[in-house]
Structure 1
Amino acid sequence: MPSLLRRVKSKMFIFAHRRTLTLLDGEYGSVFKGRSLDFDELRAYVPGDEVRDIDWKATARHGSPLVKRYVAVRRHTVLLLVDTGRNMAAQALSGETKKDIAVHAAGVLGYLASRHGDDVGLLHGNATRSTYIPPRSGEEHLERLLRDVDASASLDGQASGIAEQLDYVLRYLKGRLLIVAVADEFLPDARTETLMRRLRGRHEVLWLTVCDAELAAEPGNRMQESTDVGTGQGIPLSLAVDPTVRAAYAAATLERERRRQDVFYRLGIAEEQTTGSEDVLGSVFALLEKHRSRAFTARTPTKGGSRAG
């Protein structure tokens, strides 16, 4: 069977040149507050390096910019929290299954963690069951995690219910984690929002949402009747192509998205969306940058001495 991780890495190197990978590494490395680092060496500055890493005294002596390189003193633990309920077997906006996009996203995030020497674990499941694979290092372990995600989401499985996985973390997992959730597009209910708030208080939490497909293709294109994977109910074409229904659906979708983003903002959780595997790298970078910027803002005193929220 072809390696899922090799497929992820090949896409990363096809669509991400050296500077992009350097930026991704830099954004990932900045996620952990107070990450413990030891000085390693000086090297020539390359585009994408942080300006704050330039050694100005060494640069003046050398005549060209030099940056300090550091190595992590200790490993951190990354938990990939992936929705593998029935909803993730549905079609995404790109036409792929959401599961395939989730595998790719988990692969990118896990590979970044491995490059930094961090341990990676997996928690996935549906509304009735959670499966946990403890953190370890190495690409062989990461391949196992990706295969577990790939094999677990199916149309005949249980519906998605990310609250069960959030509850599992709070009950059973100890120690501070970097949790990256990869989940279906949903609006958190009161219970889920409470669990997310508690999780955010204990861990670093980032959230990547896999976007839903459209209601139906534009009228005039070849279409088939759509089915809501969550409920199993079909959406008749006569309704899906009706202009009034489409307009009402679009308005409801916008309102739901506004409410969903408001939840993440209030909880202080960085959230980004991805529409397909070709979009994952950009979405991961945007997510890491959003988390870093939000964490920096929260730690920076305002003029009045209080902290920005």
Structure 2
Amino acid sequence: MKDRAARIRTGTLPKAPQVSADPRIHTDLAYLRSLEGPARGLSFLPRQPAQSVLNGRHASRLRGRGLNFEELRDYLPGDDIRSIDWKVTARTGRPHVRVMTEERDRPALIVVDQRMSMFFGTRRAMKSVTAAEAAAMAAFRILDQGDRVGGIVFGDEVIAEIRPQRSRGALNRFLTALSEANGLLHAEAPNTAPIGLTQVLRAVARIASRNHLIIVLSDFDGLDAETDRIVSALARHNDLILVPVTDPSAGELPAGMRLVVTDGELQAEIDTSASATRRALVEMSTGRLAEVFDWQRRFGMPILPLSAGEETLPQMRRLLGLGPR
């Protein structure tokens, strides 16, 4: 698996079976790179517009860059009294201040789900495409802000890790991993047990122990008791933003439809004319989302819900309190 992850990270993975050129179903590296221009205007800095879900009214305010200790010196007239180090002052008998400088950048880790559960869409696009578009635009803007950017891209069998760096090379490696993972999604994909979200979040905690901006784009399939514990720890020590990606059918499944679903080997037909069947399917989809919003209530993290049934950029602008373009 490690070799496969390295090859998906560097773009040397063998080509997946021929996939559709329809950008609503699959995305490629050229398309992801083309999103740099449309992403201009988005911001993940602590100062946010009044209507942004990141501005502190909806959740805890983004911490921004941390502070580095520079020196301890005598107090001078005009110094902020809040910077006085009272312990040193008490020991020496003379007032001393702690001089701190803001870190030059803040590392960001963008975590993108490209498992088969994301390869689904009933209107505009697949959830996997919406997640890839949002991740690419966020990566461009974070690098433009002067921060380091990296990511974790995971599919059913692979996890590609790109450590945060302030370089176009790291950004390109992230986009390459994202396009390769997206290209592996197809209807004939083998039926395998997918990597659990908990396993991915363990990797996130290893890389981003504290003072990172972490953005997780997923449908949050496969949660367990440990997921809750890891999310709590990540939110305590980092700025954690969750981006649940859903399909419109999660909340409104039309009656009278006959759906054929498959796991790659077996097929089943579902008749939505029965109200009990529709209710069970909707509850299954909305149950995950309810748990994510419960995390927001308990841990104070911002949630940016995206729908695969709408264009991605207008949704992001609306969530970040920006007007239409």
Quick check: 1:210–1:273 contact (8 Å CA) kept in 2? yes
Distance 1:76 1:240, change over 3 A: same
Return the match for 1:78 from 93, 96, 108.
108
- Is structure 2 residue 34 aligned with structure 1 residue 7? yes
Instruction: Give the match for residue 87 of structure 1.
Output: 117
Q: Secondary structure in 2 aligned to 1:3?
A: helix
1:236 equivalent in alignment to 2:263: no
What do residues 249-271 of structure 1 show as CA deviations (whole Å, max 9, x unaligned)? 33554555434422332122222
TM-score, normalization: structure 1? 0.64
The residue that corresponds to 1:122 in the other structure is: 151
Residues 105-143 of structure 1: CA deviation (Å, up to 9, x unaligned): 111111110221111011122466532111223445323
**Residues 186 and 260 of structure 1 are in contact (CA less than 8 Å); yes or no, is this contact kept in structure 2?**
no
User: Contact 1:99 / 1:150 at 8 angstroms: preserved in 2?
Assistant: no
Match status 1:166 vs 2:201: yes
How far 1:282 moved relative to its partner?
4.5
Note the C-alpha offset of 1:146.
1.7
Provide, for residues 49-71 of structure 1, a one-character-per-residue CA deviation record: whole Å limited to 9, x for no partner: xxxxxxxxxxxxxxxxxxxxxxx
Aligned residue number for residue 182 of structure 1:
217
Q: In structure 2, what is the Cα distance between the partners aligned to 1:213 and 1:240?
A: 15
Aligned: 1:265 with 2:297: yes
Cα contact 2:151–2:162 (8 A) shared by 1: yes
**Is residue 66 of structure 2 the alignment partner of residue 33 of structure 1?**
no
Give the aligned residue type for 2:269. P
* SS of 2:133 mapped into structure 1: helix
Q: Which amino acid aligns with 2:273?
A: V
Aligned with 1:241: secondary structure? coil
Percent identical among aligned pairs is 20
What residue number does 1:110 align with?
139
Deviation at 1:186, TM superposition (A): 3.2
Distance 1:286 1:188 in 2: 28
Q: What is the distance in 1 between the residues matched to 2:140 and 2:208?
A: 22
Distance 1:137 1:248 in 2: 46
Distance 1:251 1:200, change over 3 A: closer
Which residue is equivalent to 1:206? 241
User: CA shift at 1:280, angstroms?
Assistant: 2.8
Higher percent of residues as helix: 1
Unaligned residue ranges in structure 1 (runs of 5+): 14-20, 38-71, 290-309
**One-letter amino acid of the structure 2 residue matched with residue 265 of structure 1:** R
Distance 1:197 1:256 in 2: 17
> The residue matched to 1:121 in structure 2 has which SS?
strand
| Contiguous gaps of at least 5 residues in structure 2 | 1-27, 56-60, 68-101
CA RMSD of aligned residues (A): 3.6
1:256–1:166 CA distance, 2 compared to 1 (3 A)? closer
Cα distance in 1 for residues equivalent to 2:159 and 2:145? 27
Q: Deviations for 1:74-103, whole angstroms, at most 9, x for unmatched residues?
A: 111110111232322x21354422221121
Q: How is 1:191-230 mapped onto 2 (pairs within 5 angstroms)?
A: 191-212=226-247, 214=249, 218-219=254-255, 224-227=259-262
Q: Hey, what does 1:132 align to over in structure 2?
A: 161
TM-score normalized with structure 2 length = 0.61
Equivalent position SS for 1:9:
coil
1:106/1:182 contact within 8 Å kept: yes
How far has the Cα of 1:196 moved from its partner?
0.9
Looking at both structures, which has the greater relative contact order when contacts are Cα pairs under 8 Å and sequence separation is at least 6? 2
- How far apart are the structure 2 equivalents of 1:7 and 1:86? 25
SS in 1 for 2:63: coil
Distance 1:283 1:187, change over 3 A: farther
CA distance in 1, matches of 2:316, 2:116: 24
